[in-house]
């Protein structure tokens, strides 16, 4: 991978950040744009041109819409807090939110739009791993800092790692490592996998297998289901025939909802353990009560009795969002925005390279980190050392009290090192 020069050499001043005339023109020309401006237009003490702008690239349509919206809600809450206490570098923080529909081509185009047209200084967002990887590349070309809030594929902070990209959510390896040993103790060491056939699932399965084999366990087999599978019965029959101690389900989002609904219809949870890597509050909420089973990893959980800051965070979040509880996704968005703001303040600059250097190695304050361990963006690969909340689904629980955290595993103890992941961090000179 060769580093290419940023493409701002196109020589047209109006594509840059100070495009006041063009912005004015837009406002005058497009009534839609005017309506949008009015919609945002709460009177503020800051001049509009002075704002620090973060472009937020989350899907609000398509398969990952709900996850994307929660990331945006978290980011908006962070921006409101930052502005309430004086903004970034004394300037107002503006979020420019746009829909990527989880389409890579559209997302890359939107990233350019945010930077070149709206003058975004930084980018954050994404749910789909494919989009994260594409934006990572596009943002490096533009020389703009990008914080991947929710795309898990290991290469983002592994082989593809680059000075301009940071990640809040964990890697697929950390998702597996956070719960694997618990599962071996609880159910036994003969596992069968139900894996979505793309990098997220495959790398997670590889991580589980590696840990299992290191402890002398056996892999009985794996059923690979394409992304977007709705009927898992054929795969579940194979799983049942293998008679494992534990069925590891690695699907996410709607796929996981469908898989667990059918696990329950087959009554598999009564025959062997049902468990997996990544569970989300959104998924548990979408499941019928009887299908809420198993042991899982959460990347963040709203009920942490030992961290008082979490309680206040949950209350503030609920007040803003009509009583909804924050999910891991809300927290991803929240952390990404706060981290960018904090790094910019420390760097005393909006220059992406300087802010990146400040963000590398930055430790989040507890009221942003909101986990028992102190969270740091590791300098070697720009991965946040976020922990894993392992535990089981609460039988007969009601929203939002659907999960019992049994063990908190700090990120630093389960993350692979940068060298193991194949990351060689370089900054532009």
Partner 1 sequence: MSATQSVNRATNPGNAGGESAANRRLAVPAIIWVALLTVPVWFPWLGGYNLLATRALTLGLAAMGLNLLLGTSGALSFGQAAFFGLGGYAAGETLMHLAPSTPLAILMGIVVGGLAAGLLGPIAVRLRGIYFSMITIAFGQAFYFIVVNWNGFTGGEDGLLGFNRQPIDLGNFALKLDSVQYYYLVLLCFAVVAGLIALLLRSPLGHAFIAVRENERRLNFLGVGARNLLWIAFTLSGMIGGLAGALYALLNNFISPAALHWTLSGDFVMMCVLGGMRSFWGPLLGAIVYVLAENFLSSYTDNWMTALGIMFILIVLFFPKGLLGMLRTQVKS
**Which positions touch partner 1 (CB under 8 A)?**
1-2, 4-5, 7, 9-12, 14-15, 22, 25-26, 29-30, 32-33, 35-36, 60-61, 65, 98-99, 101, 103-106, 108-110, 112-113, 116-117, 129-130, 133-134, 137-138, 141, 153, 155, 160, 197-200, 202, 226-227
CB of 157 to partner 1, least distance (A): 14
Residue keyed to tokens 């890597």: 277
Report d(CA 225, CA 383) in Å as an integer.
29
**Residue 321 class from Cβ within 10 Å (0-12 exposed, 13-18 middle, 19+ buried)?**
middle
Tell me which residue of 295, 213, 283 sits closest to 248, measured CA to CA. Answer: 295
CB of 147 to partner 1, least distance (A): 19
231 or 315: CB nearest partner 1: 231
User: 216: how many CB neighbours lie within 10 A of its CB?
Assistant: 8
CB of 142 to partner 1, least distance (A): 9
34 or 290: CB nearest partner 1: 34
**Residue 388 class from Cβ within 10 Å (0-12 exposed, 13-18 middle, 19+ buried)?**
buried
29 or 288: CB nearest partner 1: 29
Tell me which residue of 326, 286, 277, 300 sits closest to 69, measured CA to CA. Answer: 326
CB of 132 to partner 1, least distance (A): 9
CB of 145 to partner 1, least distance (A): 19
The helix/strand/coil state of 384 is strand
User: 409: how many CB neighbours lie within 10 A of its CB?
Assistant: 19
CB of 219 to partner 1, least distance (A): 18
245 or 254: CB nearest partner 1: 254
CB of 166 to partner 1, least distance (A): 18
26 or 307: CB nearest partner 1: 26
β partners of residue 427: none
Report d(CA 357, CA 344) in Å as an integer.
10
154 or 376: CB nearest partner 1: 154
143 or 391: CB nearest partner 1: 143
The helix/strand/coil state of 225 is strand
Q: DSSP class of residue 49?
A: G
Cα end-to-end distance, the chain, whole Å: 16
β partners of residue 55: 96, 123
CB of 4 to partner 1, least distance (A): 6
4 or 311: CB nearest partner 1: 4
In order of 57, 79, 153, 326, the CA distances from 320 in angstroms are 21, 13, 31, 11
Residue keyed to tokens 């594409």: 134
């Amino acid at each position: 991978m060769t580093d290419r020069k940023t493409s701002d050499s196109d020589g047209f001043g109006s594509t840059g950040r100070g495009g006041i005339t063009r912005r004015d023109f837009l406002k005058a020309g497009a009534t839609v744009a005017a309506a949008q401006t009015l919609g945002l237009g709460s009177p503020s003490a800051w001049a509009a041109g002075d704002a620090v702008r973060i472009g937020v690239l989350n899907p609000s349509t398509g398969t990952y819409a709900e996850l994307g919206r929660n990331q945006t809600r978290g980011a908006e809450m962070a921006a409101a807090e930052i502005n309430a206490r004086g903004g970034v570098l004394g300037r107002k923080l503006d979020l420019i939110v746009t829909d990527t529909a989880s389409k890579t081509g559209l997302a890359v185009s939107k990233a350019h739009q945010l930077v070149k047209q709206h003058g975004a200084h930084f980018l954050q967002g994404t749910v789909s791993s494919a989009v994260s990887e594409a934006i990572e590349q596009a943002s490096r070309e533009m020389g703009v800092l990008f914080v991947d809030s929710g795309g898990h594929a290991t290469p983002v902070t592994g082989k593809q790692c680059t000075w301009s990209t940071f990640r809040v959510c964990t890697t697929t390896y950390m998702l597996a490592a956070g719960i694997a040993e618990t599962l071996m103790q609880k159910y036994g060491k003969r596992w069968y996998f139900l894996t979505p056939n793309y990098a997220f699932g495959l790398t997670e399965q590889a991580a589980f297998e590696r840990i299992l084999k290191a402890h002398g366990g056996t892999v009985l087999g794996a059923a690979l289901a394409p992304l977007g599978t709705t009927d898992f019965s054929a795969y579940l029959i194979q799983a049942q025939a293998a008679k494992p101690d534990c069925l590891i389900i690695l699907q996410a989002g709607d796929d996981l909802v469908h898989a667990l609904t059918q696990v329950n219809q087959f009554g598999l949870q009564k025959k062997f353990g049902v468990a997996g890597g990544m569970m989300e509050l959104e998924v548990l909420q979408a499941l019928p009560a009887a299908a809420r089973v198993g042991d899982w990893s959460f990347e963040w959980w709203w009920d942490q009795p030992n961290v008082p800051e979490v309680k206040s965070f949950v209350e503030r979040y609920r007040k803003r969002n009509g009583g909804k509880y924050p999910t891991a996704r809300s927290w991803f968005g929240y952390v990404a925005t706060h981290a960018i703001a904090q790094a910019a303040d420390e760097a005393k600059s909006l220059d992406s390279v300087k802010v990146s250097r400040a963000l590398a190695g930055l430790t989040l304050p507890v009221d942003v980190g909101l986990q028992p361990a102190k969270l740091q963006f590791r300098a070697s690969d720009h991965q946040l050392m976020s922990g894993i909340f392992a535990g089981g689904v609460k039988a007969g629980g009601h929203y939002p009290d659907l999960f019992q955290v049994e063990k908190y595993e700090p990120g630093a103890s389960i993350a692979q090192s940068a060298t193991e992941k194949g990351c060689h961090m370089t900054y532009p000179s």
